[in-house]
Chain A
């Protein structure tokens, strides 16, 4: 093995360990209560994960929470960014989730038409 080989293995394997660090620039929390799941939260969650993977975003983690008490807007997701207020999105679909990743997470422009609340972290 050469040094470059080691680095290659490291790069690939690092990604898989990312989850266990618990530190990230952005955290996306998808509401996965019963009603959220009924409204399609699982597909939304998968779309988030997939889009993040596709774009190779190392510092974004996706996690989940229980009922958010906003069931008329399910599926719901919150975007937590260090030092910024939390942006809550509602009425999500997998496509919107992908847009949020592209526009909000990558380019820093929240997708305003789906923002249902902005709150302090």
Chain B
């Protein structure tokens, strides 16, 4: 018997930690009680996006979106909605600005401005069921390249699409594939970078959890294009659910003959293994990652030679990010000109962002390149909570920088962000309101990179610590005016002389806050004042302590 309702329960990591499993179990039990098991399907999906509102649930075909569910709500949903067709209004998503009940998923502004390509299956299919992936055209792209295209044609298609790496630097994907194909050597590898070390980022995790087959398919297509037989996915150990779902997906793909020997009865053979990383930020850097897969310490090495020439065990290796691979099947199926029609002149397609910080709707969003920061924060994000004022967005994690309010209408693409002194990075976007102290924010990121530096080179190991110490002084009211110049000079020097991307980008948070929020640095130094009220200046603190001690003495 076909189902009349599909109930999609979000089983992304955030919802699971909010107990979505209990909701699912309860739902199963209540449906059984009412003899409705045959009429209603329960589907566990990947992240649906608005994680903050979890556990969330989506009911089809009517598209009712339930949020913040408790076990006790399940009975009511079954009795009212499933049996009588009356959605339970009090559990439906209320848009924060309008406070009106929104009944259909497509009417919610959070979804309206998004364009889901990479995330099109996340929250829609069961990631642990390969047949659901096949139902939405899964593995068609692989079949197409193997039976109708030469590797050169595939690469050409990727070049024409204009896809650029989603792992941070934005290198043209097709050109990287081409270089790897053309590198001499008969053994080659494909590696997927799922390290995702940026604080606040969880895009890659969501894709691996919600649609693991799209990554496998992308890797297989890449392997065919460059001439590889073996692939590795490097995932950090902190992502157990992503690892589990990926492992299951790989096994299913093998069982269906979509990985292994002679795929689709062609001469192409390819298989994938998972490598679990220890979760050091620097292990996301490509040369360090490759060393780590080889079983060595995850330390970057100078480039060139690039991995395309000398990668895993000295062989030509293609390394791309999770989201980059997840784009591939869509490009093959819909064509490069379709893909190139989305986005801006030099940044094609969409980008997945993890929206967090002081914004009403936090979570996972996918937008066409070129959407403005204002649209991202105010239309999709629903603006700043508690009537506070927007101050800036921090984009690109520890390698990125801040964009202040006057640039809200900047389109989000690789070039525009670079002009503002930040980068797309992997897609972490932290929204900051007037309660954020920019000096303290820079210090937070520096603290992170000082910790994560592998220590191999002097500018990064010692220089960053020095930057940190200066920032620390300033936040304690002990800064000097000369410090500002030192921060800038030293920052530029570290960027210029560090060996890997970590050191080369670590000063960015300091340099960009100095560029746009210099006033705040000056206030900290000259007036011993933190306008956000975050920094505690030491004189004041010392007084308190000594007062307490005096009191102690008296009592």
Listed in ascending order, the chain A residues whose CB lies under 8 Å from chain B are: 1-3, 6, 9-10, 12-17, 19-22, 24, 27, 30-34, 37, 45-46, 49-50, 52-53, 61-66
Tell me whether A49 and B143 are in contact in the complex, defined as CB-CB below 8 angstroms, given that A10-B137, A17-B135, A66-B84 are known contacts: no
Task: Taking A13-B132, A19-B4, A64-B84 as given, write out 13 further A-B residue pairs in contact, using a Cβ cutoff of 8 Å, ordered by the A residue number.
Answer: A1-B256, A1-B264, A3-B147, A3-B264, A13-B131, A16-B3, A19-B61, A20-B124, A37-B84, A49-B4, A52-B2, A61-B61, A63-B62
Point out the residue from B2, B147, B258 that lies within 8 Å of A49, measured CB to CB.
B2
Tell me whether A19 and B143 are in contact in the complex, defined as CB-CB below 8 angstroms, given that A1-B264, A2-B265 are known contacts: no
Chain B residue contacts of A49, Cβ below 8 A: 1-2, 4, 39
Please determine whether B1 and A6 come into contact, CB atoms closer than 8 angstroms. no
- Compute how far the CA of A31 lies from the CA of B41 in the bound complex, rounded to whole angstroms: 21
- Compute how far the CA of A53 lies from the CA of B1 in the bound complex, rounded to whole angstroms: 8
Taking the closest CB of chain A, its distance from the CB of B255, in whole angstroms, is 10
Closest 6 CB pairs of A and B: A64-B85, A13-B135, A1-B257, A66-B86, A32-B85, A13-B131
Tell me whether A6 and B139 are in contact in the complex, defined as CB-CB below 8 angstroms, given that A20-B8, A49-B4 are known contacts: yes
Quick check: is B125 within 8 A (CB to CB) of the other chain?
Answer: yes
Chain A residue contacts of B135, Cβ below 8 A: 9-10, 13-14, 16-17
- Compute how far the CA of A121 lies from the CA of B63 in the bound complex, rounded to whole angstroms: 19
Tell me whether A19 and B60 are in contact in the complex, defined as CB-CB below 8 angstroms, given that A2-B264, A3-B147, A45-B4 are known contacts: yes
Tell me whether A3 and B143 are in contact in the complex, defined as CB-CB below 8 angstroms, given that A17-B132, A17-B135, A19-B61 are known contacts: yes
Quick check: is B247 within 8 A (CB to CB) of the other chain?
Answer: no
27 contacts between A and B (CB under 8 A): A1-B257, A6-B139, A6-B140, A6-B264, A9-B134, A10-B140, A13-B135, A16-B132, A16-B135, A17-B125, A17-B132, A17-B135, A17-B136, A19-B6, A19-B61, A22-B61, A22-B63, A22-B106, A24-B61, A27-B61, A49-B2, A50-B1, A53-B2, A61-B61, A63-B61, A64-B84, A66-B85
Chain B residue contacts of A37, Cβ below 8 A: 83-84
Please determine whether A15 and B85 come into contact, CB atoms closer than 8 angstroms. no
Chain B residue contacts of A12, Cβ below 8 A: 131
Taking the closest CB of chain A, its distance from the CB of B268, in whole angstroms, is 13
- Compute how far the CA of A49 lies from the CA of B2 in the bound complex, rounded to whole angstroms: 7
